[in-house]
Amino acid sequence: MSQKQQLIDQVIDAWQALQQQTPLVQCITNSVANNYVANILLAAGASPAMIDNPFEAEDFTRISAALSINIGTPTTEQTQAMLISAKTAQQHHVPWVLDPVGYGMVLKWRSETVDQLLKFQPSIIRGNASEISTLAGSQIQTKGVDSTLNSHDVYAQAKSLLQHSECIAISGESDYIISKQLDIVIKVNGGCHLQPKITATGCALGALTAAYHAVTNPTIAALASHIHFAIAGKLAYEHAQTVGSFNVAFLDYIHMLDDNLIQQYVDIEIL
């Protein structure tokens, strides 16, 4: 069996485990994304909990199957909760995903918070090309929180982030999964150009990555979540070509994905 087919089989196993276990995922995400992230996780088979209060963070992280931290609209209290939860996750071996939204020179306070969070060794770092590039040390101009770079141009330099994490996931027209465990880069094709037109798709992808990480290792978790989104985006666009209708169809296909659809539509390359 080829390495590619082995990876696909492991993704299918992870999807099945997600359905069976319904993992509890603590999401500390941004105010724009809360509702959408929760709906995506529910549709995919996970159980989201949006616990971002510093007085509750430690206790809840301890009982969570995974933690997703997204620094999109940080408040003072929320960043306190992020640091508490990340530390707790590291201490209690709770897998956690960091999404460094808007990291860069312009938003220094949040970027310093991300630097602190990296000390707690996120299992997976997930972001768009601009965020990952800047985090890896290349100071580039971003346009708000949207990417101004192509993910293909970034994955080589992103390997430096493996000192902080087991796996780096870069989303874009194609997605790139950089695995420390397997020492490979996996390209995930698919998706749809309308996905960035919907608020919080990237945030939800980070949370879904955490949900998958509750049931499998970092590489397969990142790969499974990006394949899940890529297939749902591709199939949704076949049924709906306008943003509003596509959004509904996308959520439907997140829910309707199964092992047969994964096997039929998965499109990955090992670089």
* Binding-site positions for ATP: 126, 171
Output the known binding site for substrate: 50, 200
Contact 41, 47 (CB under 8 A): yes
Distance, in Å, from the CA atom of 60 to the CA atom of 79, rounded to the nearest integer, reads 16
Residue ranges at the known binding site? 50, 126, 171, 200
